[in-house]
Amino acid sequence: MSNSGNIMDLVQSKNFSALIFDCDGTLVDTKFFHFFTLRGALHEVGITLRQDWYFSRLGLSRDDLFIEIKKEQDAEFDEESVKETISKTYKQNIHHVKEIELVSSIARKLSGKLPLSVASGGQREIVLRTLAAVGLDSIFDFVVTVEDVTRGKPSPELFLLAASKMGVAPSQCLVLEDSNEGIEAAHRASALSIDIREFV
């Protein structure tokens, strides 16, 4: 049986009324894309970003990641300038991103049959552009991002907001995630969860 079959079987074995998907690393393969984009932007302000360090913090919002970078390197930099560089580079190269079909196929199959949301720690403009780049922008009922809440993952706020918008109790939501922070956030929201890293 394929991994796709395994994860769909697991999804179907859960008792839930709505699905919430993370975006980066869950629906869309952007891990290396985000890393190289951020590394380049930080290099311009004299900051070196290690791949292993970054990958161990994938679930953090960009603002929380910046706090960690400053603390780790005991350095200061103009966050707005770095954000502008990241946004410009990302938009120029967004056509390179690919969907993770193992997960996106589940969203496509269940779209219109169950309430579906995206809950991402990314910036709204980037998340929407990313979903559009792989043709996933029209299949979700709601998209919530870090700009809609006061705290990103591992705070449960994103998942609680997504559940509220869908009109479903958090305990009746199934979350698909790819980060420790995301899985913790789902647990803190009392939602069911599947760590897709077990399948990809």
- Mark whether 86 and 128 lie in a shared domain: no
- Mark whether 58 and 153 lie in a shared domain: no
Tokens linked to 6: 């395994």
- Mark whether 37 and 16 lie in a shared domain: no
- Mark whether 78 and 115 lie in a shared domain: no
Could you tell me which residues are beta bridge partners of residue 120? 145
The reported pLDDT for the residue numbered 6 is 87
- Mark whether 86 and 108 lie in a shared domain: no
Domain end point (choices 71, 95, 119):
95
Q: Collect all residues with Cβ–Cβ distance below 8 Å to 50 and sequence separation of at least 6.
A: none
Burial call 84-101: b when 16+ CB within 10 Å, e when fewer: ebbbebbeeebeebebbe
Contact 52, 58 (CB under 8 A): no
- Mark whether 75 and 105 lie in a shared domain: no
Q: 42: part of which helix (H) or strand (E)? A: helix 31-43
Lookup result for tokens 């590394």: 39
Domain end point (choices 70, 95, 120):
95
CB-count burial class (<10 Å; 0-12, 13-18, 19+) for 82: buried
- Mark whether 114 and 181 lie in a shared domain: yes
Domain end point (choices 68, 95, 122):
95
The reported pLDDT for the residue numbered 1 is 36
Could you tell me the residue range of the domain that residue 45 belongs to?
A: 31-95
3-state per-residue secondary structure call for the chain: CCHHHHHHHHHHHCCCCEEEECCECCCEECHHHHHHHHHHHHHCCCCCCCHHHHHCCCCCCHHHHHHHHHHHHCCCCCHHHHHHHHHHHHHHHHHHCEECHHHHHHHHHHECCECEEEEECCCHHHHHHHHHHCCCCCCCCEEEEHHHCCCCCCCCHHHHHHHHHHCCCHHHEEEEECCHHHHHHHHHCCCEEEEHHHCC
- Mark whether 89 and 186 lie in a shared domain: no
- Mark whether 193 and 136 lie in a shared domain: yes
- Mark whether 57 and 153 lie in a shared domain: no
- Mark whether 127 and 165 lie in a shared domain: yes
Q: Determine if the peptide bond prior to 115 is cis (ω within 30°).
A: no
Q: Render each residue's pLDDT in the chain as its tens digit; 200 residues.
A: 346 558 999 999 999 999 999 999 999 999 999 999 999 999 999 999 999 999 999 889 889 999 999 999 999 999 999 999 999 999 899 989 999 999 999 999 999 999 999 999 999 999 999 999 999 999 999 999 999 999 999 999 999 999 999 999 999 999 999 999 999 999 999 999 999 999 98
Lookup result for tokens 């780049």: 133
The reported pLDDT for the residue numbered 200 is 83
The reported pLDDT for the residue numbered 4 is 55
Lookup result for tokens 């009392």: 190
CATH code of the domain containing 107: 3.40.50.1000
Contact 55, 31 (CB under 8 A): yes
- Mark whether 61 and 111 lie in a shared domain: no
Tally of structural domains, the chain: 2
